[in-house]
Amino acid sequence: MTISIDPQKTNNESLQPKGWLRYFSFSLDHKVIGIQYLVCGFLFYLIGGTLASAIRIELASPMSDFMPRDVYNQVLTLHGTIMIFLWIVPVVNGAFGNYLIPFYVGARDMAFPRLNAVAFWLIPPSGLMLVASYFVEGAAQAGWTAYPPLSITTPQSGQIIWILSVLLLGGSSIFGGINFIATIIKLRRPGLKLMQLPMYCWAMLGTSLLVVLSTPVLAGTLILLSFDIIANTGFFNPVLGGNVVVYQHLFWFYSHPAVYIMVLPAFGLVSEILPVHARKPLFGYTTMVFSIMGIVVLGLVVWAHHMFTSGTPPWMRLFFTIATAFIAVPTGIKFFNWVATLWGGKISINSAMLFSCGFIINFVFGGITGVALAQVPFDIHVHDTYFVVAHFHYIVYGGTVFIIFSSIYHWFPKVTGKMLNEKLGILHFIITFIGFNLCFAPQHWLGLNGMPRRVAEYDPQFQFVNQISSLGALLMAVSTIPFLINVFLSVRNGKDSGDNPWNALTPEWLTSSPPPVENWEGEAPLVEEPYGYGKEISERK
Amino acid sequence: MLNKNIYLILIISLVFAISFWIGFNVNLLPAEASINAPIYDELFKILFIIGLIIFIGMTIAVIYSLFKFRKRNDQIGDGIALEGNLSLEIVWTIIPSIIVLLIGLYSYNIYDRMGGMKELNHNHEMMSSNSEKIWAGISQTSDNEIAINNLSIEVSAMQFAFLFNYPKGNFISGELHVPVDQKVSMKMESKDVIHAFWVPEFRIKQDIIPGQPTILNFTPTKVGKYPIICAELCGPYHGGMRASIIVEEESDYNEWFNKNKKPEVNL
């Protein structure tokens, strides 16, 4: 079937295992690697979710009674680290990026297939190492931010394994970023212009720029931190004359852009999903591209808004307030454009559409609390409280995770050739949406009224609201069940989807489902209007 | 067409009315017990109302679109081939920019009224003679006042307690006692890891950092007992790291102060 002209590549292909075994191999096929990222990420999501459930069980009562206090700190550290570095970042970048980008640019694979496989295979060992550190001397317990001097004074082995694991994951992320930039810029099929690319390519280009610019700073910082821990250097250790606030600057120089590394790809994915199910062109393509790039530039100069209560001078607080608040403008443009995309469409109400609309509603809420948090005087009261916890879960769960589910419902037929069950999908959406809002909306009130984050015990007056939140978390855990049943049933006995069940116009649908090894039987099609719904190009189908 | 516009105007005014009603009638904040608190609550109210208008408006737009433009069973084909509308896009770029800018300027004004924009390095040199670098907390005092009639307290934080040193009385207390309506000026330093000093009823928070003293000034306005909460993860007992601040009438405070006061010891 392969019509590759590269003999070396063909040789390699013949050595690759076939069938489901290829997902456990060092495959060079971007589609296999994409699914490897997705399934691996989902397994870590289940682990991270179990840890989240443990946190909510502990917080169902005001006393610290479910687990020892130091274990609680390990659990919250692992929960944050796993959800960010092993679930959201690898899935929205690695999984969907690998699967979709070569289709979108009209290529047969990524620019560097071996680097691509290496980037994926760094993830399972570093993730397992991180989880296993619990059994050594206890896992890291200084939070996912690992602020010194706490990270220097807590048990060392857990913290060092945490650093090694995050370094490997950061390396994986940088390899992926370089690969995406090279693929989007250099592997476009002849005749395909940049401004004709589907929006997810632009989102991944912006994200990869952020990855390549900011992740090395995190790596350098963590290496210095590890020197402080194992070699008694004094970069961040105040006892030896180090400066703890410098660590925070360096850490957030990566970790604020990391928010956009988690969110921009989701913006790209939703821009692919909405036009298909609303049967309308993406509204305002050019402004969407510019707002992505605006977010990239602004995203690099707002990090100190995480440090308004640290030792930052007043002028710096003011600059970061204004810069942060202005991110709301390009972000707002995107949300208005998505609503305008829905407006006047012929909308199919299905699981993919519902999760995308849930994303819009949740993210708008999280964005509004974000603009409020950007204001120094506002932030000074709620910094490091449950208000912040609620805010960022609205962004990363209500935003990105909703889009991950939306994307799974949308692209499942592409990957498997089978449809997911819509009734189970809608049930999944309803339980997730209610559970999520029940869990996190009340936490805003908790933060405003005096409950700090990362605590195992709290004032009894907060018990009732915490129990509502825990009930929401229970619903979120339950919501995974219909989803898993749906996936397993559909993989085995799902309805055949045909090649293009949604009548979509983006290039990945213009080949068979599932696609052949090198994506197209013949030449890659030239898709000049990926969103040409309502036009002649769409009528022809 | 006219009918449609009337409905639109009606809905928009309804969204505004609901948002303002909620903004003025739903209180999400704890009691106000310092000069900062009412200023903070003013900002909160404004942000809350603007946020509600945007959130309710967007939610209605999404749900309305899903309902109104849903595909009926007998329908085939696509929606309208509308790819953009430049003037509309300019409107929804400029209006949010103006709103964001106004919020920024307003919060600058709030911050200034809280005393956040004053340089603090100078103050500290008057407070104590050595010239170590002080990082900015919130200051509400002008340069001269701080040295003359402020109550100055030295706070040290450690795993997992706060200690309050009253230099004038030469004693250390585990509870922070302050007289009502008087400016309090605190110099804070941590003995081990980063902690934070937070009093929700005062709407103030400042990290307490090892190796770098921070200062925090406030003026309590209401007699009572309020929690002091550590807000920065500091170890296993972080959740239990609490103290109390007792705001009392000046006479009660003086009584407490004189009871604890120790004579200066000259060695």
Contact A139, A77 (CB under 8 A): yes
Predicted confidence (pLDDT) at residue A539 exceeds the cutoff of 70: no
Contact A354, A426 (CB under 8 A): yes
Q: What is the pLDDT along chain B (267 residues), one digit of tens a residue?
A: 567 788 889 999 999 999 999 999 989 999 999 988 999 999 999 999 999 999 999 999 999 999 999 988 777 778 888 888 889 899 989 999 999 999 998 988 888 888 766 655 444 434 443 334 455 565 444 444 444 557 889 999 999 999 999 988 889 999 999 999 998 888 899 999 999 999 999 999 999 999 888 888 889 999 999 999 999 999 999 999 999 999 999 999 999 999 998 876 655
Within 13 Å and on the Cβ side, how many CA atoms surround A14? Answer: 8
Which A positions 261-280 lie with beta carbon below 8 A of chain B? 278-280
Q: Which of A318, A368, A452 sits opposite B54 (nearest CB)?
A: A368
Chain B residue with Cα closest to A74: B236
* Chain A CB contacts of B29 below 8 Å: 448-449
Q: Which of A381, A243, A215, A371 is nearest to A308 (CA)?
A: A381
**Whether A149 contacts A238, CB under 8 Å:** yes
User: Which chain A residue shows the shortest CA-CA distance from B64?
Assistant: A343
A22 forms beta bridges with none
What are residue A24's phi and psi, to 5 degrees? -105, 10
Phi–psi pair at B71, nearest 5 degrees? -80, 120
- Cβ pair B236:A70 closer than 8 A: yes
For tokens 């996190």, what's the residue? A440
Residue A64 has its nearest CB partner, among B88, B235, B239, at B239
Find the range with the poorest average confidence among A153-167, A278-292, A399-413, B250-264.
Answer: B250-264
Beta-sheet pairing, B224-229 with B242-248: antiparallel
Residues of A in contact with B239 (CB under 8 A): 64, 69, 452, 454-458
pLDDT number for residue B149: 56
Mutate to test the interface with B, among A326, A350, A378 (most CBs of B within 10 A): A378
Q: Give the pLDDT of residue B141.
A: 45
**Cβ contacts of B198 on chain A, cutoff 8 Å:** 384, 452
Asked whether the predicted pLDDT for residue A54 surpasses 80, the reply is yes
Show the DSSP H helices in A23-95 as ranges: 30-58, 69-81, 89
Alpha-carbon distance B79 to B212, whole Å? 62
- The alpha carbon of residue A23 is apart from the nearest alpha carbon of chain B, in Å, by 38
Which tokens in the block code for residue A268?
């790209």
Tokens of A450: 């005096």
Residue-wise pLDDT tens digits, A488-501: 999 999 999 989 99
Q: Do B238 and B192 form a contact (C-beta atoms < 8 A)?
A: no
**What part of B 172-211 touches A (C-beta under 8 Å)?**
192-194, 196, 198, 200, 203-207, 209-211
Q: What is the pLDDT of residues A174-227, one digit of tens each?
A: 999 999 999 999 999 999 999 999 999 999 999 999 999 999 999 999 999 999
Contact indicator for B178, B253 with CB cutoff of 8 Å: yes
Q: Which of residues 209-268 of A touch B (CB under 8 A)?
A: 238-239, 241-245
CA A179 – CA B112 distance, rounded (Å): 47
Which of A40, A196, A301, A63 has its CA nearest to residue A531? A196
A-B Cβ pairs (cutoff 8 Å, strict): 282
Q: Give the N- to C-terminal CA distance of chain A in Å, as an integer.
A: 26
Given a contact cutoff of 8 angstroms between Cβ atoms, the answer to whether B106 and B46 are in contact is yes
Report helix angle A422-448 to A463-493, nearest 10.
160
Buried/exposed code over A92-127 (b: 16+ C-beta within 10 A; e: otherwise): bbbbbbbbbbbbbbbbbbbbbbeebbebbebbeebb
Residue A37 has pLDDT above 60, yes or no: yes
Q: Which residues, numbered 31 to 90 in chain B, qualify as contacts with chain A under a Cβ-Cβ cut-off of 8 Å?
A: 39-40, 43-44, 47, 51, 54-55, 58-59, 61-62, 65-66, 69-71, 75, 77-85, 88-89
Q: What confidence tier does A23 reach under pLDDT thresholds 50, 70, 90?
A: confident
- Predicted confidence at residue B79, as pLDDT, reads 81
Q: What is the interface pTM, i.e. ipTM, of the complex?
A: 0.91
- Cα–Cα distance for residue pair B215/B212, rounded to 1 Å: 10
Interchain pair A531, B62: CB under 8 A:
no
Q: B178 is written with which tokens?
A: 């302050």
At residue A276 the predicted structure's pLDDT band, cuts being 50, 70 and 90, is very high
What six digits make up the tokens of B32? 């106000």
Q: Which of residues 303-322 of A touch B (CB under 8 A)?
A: 309-314, 317-318, 321-322
pLDDT value at position A222? 96
Strand pairing category for B151-158 and B184-190: parallel
**Among A77-81, A519-523, B56-60, B253-257, which is the least confidently predicted range?**
A519-523
Give yes or no for residue A171 having a pLDDT over 90.
yes
What is the spatial distance between Cα A538 and Cα A277, in angstroms, rounded to a whole number? 13
Contact A347 B214 (CB under 8 A): no
* Residues A370 and A437 sit within 8 Å (Cβ to Cβ): no
Between B111 and A364, name the one with better pLDDT.
A364
Task: Give CA–CA dist A198/A177, Å, rounded.
Answer: 18
Q: Is the pLDDT of residue A17 over 80?
A: no
Determine the distance in angstroms separating the CA of B267 from the nearest CA of chain A, rounded to an integer: 29
| Amino acid symbol at A183 | T
Q: Distance from B162 to chain A by nearest Cα, in Å? A: 16
Q: What is the pLDDT of residue A4?
A: 44
d(CA A311, CA B182): 25
pTM of the model: 0.93
Residues B80, A243: C-beta atoms closer than 8 Å:
no
Q: Tell me the chain B residues in contact with residue A371 when contact means C-beta distances shorter than 8 Å.
A: 47, 51, 100, 103
Residues 226 through 265 of chain B touching chain A, CB cutoff 8 Å: 227, 229-240
Residue B90 has which token pair? 């300019």
Q: Residue B58: which of A346, A426, A351, A337 has the closest Cα?
A: A337
Cα–Cα dist A187/A151, whole Å? 43
pLDDT of residue B213: 87
Question: Is A448 in CB contact (< 8 Å) with chain B?
Answer: yes
Query: In the prediction, which pLDDT does B126 show?
Result: 41
Asked whether the predicted pLDDT for residue A353 surpasses 60, the reply is: yes
Q: Which two tokens stand for residue A62?
A: 């005001």
The answer, yes or no, to whether residue A315 has pLDDT greater than 70, is yes
Of the partner residues A245, A333, A457, the one whose CB lies closest to the CB of residue B93: A333
Interface test with A, best of B8, B34, B45, B58 (most A CBs within 10 A): B58
Contact yes or no for B212 and A243 at CB 8 A: yes
